[in-house]
């Protein structure tokens, strides 16, 4: 029996104008429109820019759409939302999306005056739709009191050279000596997962520089949503564990749980612990060494440069003692490494002493739950990951500083919009439980055909796609399959 190999030929056609590779972009756009995001652009932002083929609003909507569909950089707009995406562009009122050069010009047209305008837009949407207003989503303390955790942190954005406007050398973890920026963030933690406010600054900006602004905006959010400041717990790592910062938090009526900044202070506290004191073993995670904590009760803490009593704060202090495996920082040769491994000298156990300060009482936050509550800060760390690897903020988009700052804020607003979409439009479906990265890089990549029937728009998904099959079983918006299995 003879077997023949089929010949393959390729041809271009215009019959794909009703197809899109990002079917759920339609849902994201419609949901953002219903929340008033696009109409808010004209009310809050007044950006002056010459209009030839596209207005600045259309360019900004294109930038927003590129974030939703997972573009890691502006140059990917031409490939992801190019002339072939006419069906999706029609939903935005466009014949085709603007190309990346138009979006770049938009970012260069941004001035410092536009940043407070976008902040007002972001806060207005947050006050109206924030899930932080739902007390059932707040965390329970040990006495069953509900509190809203607000996490404050800072992350670095490293750039390739010093040609980026206002970039500066700073502490960027392992990337020492590099140039970049610092992004300070206030985040509604726990089950809420929304960005409350943020600020982009040069790389040599300390964490405490933006703290007053962030705390004031948390206070504004509380006033506009009817949340009492005493229901909020500010949670932060050792960058914020100073006496001055504790004073600022207390002055605004918030509670706090902070890691102390000074290891020398922790060692001094440990040396003063009486011999009869009890250290309780606490959960430290399955992948970590055991840890022990001791509640020292209320202690006085003073600023190192202002040792007078008027600059002291009194707060509950808890010591944390754990043992870590530490490797030799000096790089040894292959033979030396093999010899050290054989002798058991490749790494050694060292004792690490830290302390936490809080104004929550033992009945509210017993010692067994301190570390668990502090480690729940992972929600803001997860947002930093989603922001970089899901929402395209891993790289700086422009050398123009105001444009870069506005883009970062647009990413924060988009995070909130996608979270609200998950918990309302897709409530009860598999998509509601997706992380932002999977939502953008998996769910948003489902292809679809867009058809217009009068004033109705029908979005047809491939029924055999595993996510579409799951939506067909649980999403009320999904019509029955036609001509499929």
The pLDDT of residue 322 is above 60: yes
Tell me the domain boundaries of the chain: 19-114+399-474
Q: Is the pLDDT of residue 328 over 70?
A: no
Q: Residue 331: its pLDDT value, please?
A: 62
Is it the case that residue 484 has pLDDT exceeding 60? Answer: no
| Over residues 244-273, mean pLDDT | 93
Q: Is 297 left (phi over 0), alpha (psi -120 to 50) or beta?
A: left
Calculate what percentage of the chain has a pLDDT beyond 90: 72
- At 197-230, the pLDDT tens digits run 999 999 999 999 999 999 999 999 999 999 999 9
Using one digit for the tens of pLDDT, what is the confidence trace for 418-472?
999 999 999 999 999 999 999 999 999 999 999 988 888 899 999 999 999 999 9
pTM metric for this prediction: 0.91
Residues 60-69 have pLDDT tens digits of 999 999 999 9
Binned at pLDDT 50, 70 and 90, residue 485 comes out as: very low
Distances in whole angstroms, Cα of residue 405 to Cα of each of 75, 166, 235:
18, 11, 25
pLDDT at residue 309 greater than cutoff 70: no
Is pLDDT above 80 for 231? yes
């Amino acid at each position: 029996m003879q077997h023949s190999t089929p010949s393959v030929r390729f041809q271009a056609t215009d019959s794909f104008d009703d197809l899109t590779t990002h079917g759920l972009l339609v849902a994201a756009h419609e949901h953002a429109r219903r929340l008033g995001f696009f109409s808010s652009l004209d009310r809050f932002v007044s950006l002056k820019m010459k209009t030839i083929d596209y207005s600045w609003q259309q360019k900004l909507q294109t930038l927003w759409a590129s974030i939703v569909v997972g573009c890691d950089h502006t140059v990917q707009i031409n490939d992801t939302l190019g002339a072939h995406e006419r069906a999706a562009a029609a939903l935005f009122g466009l014949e085709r999306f603007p190309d990346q050069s138009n979006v770049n010009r938009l970012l260069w047209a941004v001035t410092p005056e536009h940043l407070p305008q976008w902040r007002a837009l972001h806060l207005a949407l947050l006050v109206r739709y924030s899930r932080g207003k739902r007390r059932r989503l707040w965390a329970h303390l040990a006495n069953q009191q509900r509190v809203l955790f607000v996490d404050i942190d800072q992350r670095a954005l490293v750039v390739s050279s010093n040609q980026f406007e206002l970039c500066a050398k700073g502490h960027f973890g392992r990337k020492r000596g590099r140039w970049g920026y610092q992004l300070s963030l206030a985040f509604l933690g726990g089950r809420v997962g929304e960005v409350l406010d943020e600020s982009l600054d040069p790389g040599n900006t300390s964490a405490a520089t933006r703290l007053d602004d962030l705390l004031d905006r948390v206070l504004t959010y509380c006033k506009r949503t009817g949340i009492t400041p005493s229901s909020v717990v500010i949670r932060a790592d050792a960058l914020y564990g100073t006496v001055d910062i504790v004073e600022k938090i207390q002055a605004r009526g918030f509670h706090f749980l902070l890691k102390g900044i000074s290891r020398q202070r922790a060692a001094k506290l440990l040396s003063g612990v009486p011999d009869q004191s009890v250290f309780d073993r606490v959960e430290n995670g399955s992948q970590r060494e055991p840890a022990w904590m001791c509640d020292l009760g209320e202690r006085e803490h003073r600023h190192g440069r202002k040792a007078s009593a008027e600059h002291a704060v009194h707060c509950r202090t808890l010591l944390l003692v754990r043992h870590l495996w530490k490797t030799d920082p000096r790089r040894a040769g292959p033979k030396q490494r093999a010899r050290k491994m054989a002798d058991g000298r490749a790494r050694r156990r060292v004792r690490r002493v830290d302390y936490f300060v809080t104004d929550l009482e033992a009945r509210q936050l017993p010692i067994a739950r301190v570390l668990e509550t502090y480690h729940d800060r992972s929600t803001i760390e997860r947002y930093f990951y989603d922001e970089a690897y899901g929402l395209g903020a891993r790289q700086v988009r422009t050398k123009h500083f105001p444009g870069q700052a506005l883009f970062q804020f647009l990413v924060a607003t988009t995070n909130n919009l996608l979270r609200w979409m998950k918990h309302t439009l897709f409530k009860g479906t598999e998509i509601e439980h997706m992380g932002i990265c999977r939502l953008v890089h998996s769910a948003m990549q489902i292809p679809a055909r867009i058809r217009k029937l009068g004033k109705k728009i029908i979005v047809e998904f491939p029924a055999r796609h595993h996510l579409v099959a799951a939506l067909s079983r649980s999403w009320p918006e999904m019509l029955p399959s036609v001509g499929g299995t």
